[in-house]
Amino acid sequence: MTPRLNVHFIHVKPPNLPAGQKAIPLLMVHGWPGSFYEFYGIIPLLTEPGKHGLDPNFTFEVICPSIPGYGFSEAPHKKGLDAIAAGRIFYKLMLRLGFSEFYLHGGDWGSLITTTMSQMKPESVKGLHLNVVFLGKGGFKVLISLILGRYLPWLVGMTREDVKLIYPYFEKNVYAVLRESGYLHIQATKPDTVGSSLNDSPAGLAAYILEKFSTWTNPDYRALEDGGLDRKYSLDDLLTNVMIYWVSGSITSSMRFCKENLSHESRFGLVARTPVYVPTGIAAFPHELMHNPKIWVKERHKNIVNYNYMPRGGHFAAFEEPELLARDIQNFVSKVEKNAK
């Protein structure tokens, strides 16, 4: 018998859709250490855009699931639930909700999950919108563009914005990743060890999670006494996200998802190397952990419709800058729909 998992999701339909207009189905997937709650601020902008000064012609029906093992979605009972498995689960969810075609948005692990869905079921995915891009191995082209890009960006397809976000390379990429990736090594190898500690201490859990909402929002916040947490978020919103992990006891199972995707037996490399052909939109936020220029992204995403440099914001785009992200999603879908016609 096929094992079943109870999957939690929120499903918001437009409350006042004009006669004759159809809502556009949009699946939005979170990452770690976020949750479905990251999308609470952006959902009204997408489901009632006219009420919030956005284009009412692009009104969405939004579905936000919790990744299995996160929050109120049941944790897997055996090994092997990685981004590919999560993508299959969410595809079945969309079919059961009555959607044979839909748009996708993802950040963090949500980016990887929605990308795998686009690879597996391109006939169902009308468009893929991301604020984080996972690339495969850099290769010779990336190396050459890194060497020449600082002084001759136009020669290797880089823009001035790319140069500003990438260089000095070691400071903004190598050292930045070393500073921020300690958690990744732990969770990819021994998630249960640290998970047991965090499940036993609400203060410890809050510290572990909120530190990411500080440094991943803006690396400059690292130097502030309070981590700059209230510059982009309310404490109520931050603690709500922490409480979703605390009341569900899901921090350990959420970290196991990292191990499943990054262990030596994982399929992460295969996913990262496989081309994506569905229409793709990229929102490049300036304080994202690593910046990937369009010229690099095109090596994998073969049908880029939109690539926008966002004026502000970091890793938790929907949580930090819901209006900026909502407008970019609308702009992307507008172009895809126009091209389809």
Lowest mean pLDDT among 88-102, 104-118, 121-135, 140-154: 140-154
| pTM, full prediction | 0.94
Segment 33-59 mean pLDDT:
96
Helix (H) or strand (E) holding 77: none
Decide which of 3.40.50.1820, 3.40.50.2000, 3.30.230.10, 3.60.15.10 is the CATH code for 9-170+265-340.
3.40.50.1820
6/32 Cα distance (integer angstroms):
19
More confident of the two residues 71 and 269: 71
Residue 138 is given by DSSP the state: -
Please report the pLDDT score of residue 266 as a whole number.
Answer: 65
The residue whose two tokens read 């690099």 is: 296
The pLDDT > 70 percentage for the chain reads: 97
Nearest CA to 113 among 305, 220, 271, 287? 271
Domain boundaries, the chain: 9-170+265-340, 176-262
Residues 61, 9 contacting (CB under 8 angstroms)? no
pLDDT at 298 over 80: yes
| pLDDT higher than 50, residue 1 | no
Rounded to whole angstroms, how far apart are CA atoms 14 and 11? 10
In this prediction, residues 92-110 reach a mean pLDDT of 97
**Quick one: angle between helices 83-96 and 109-120, nearest 10?**
70
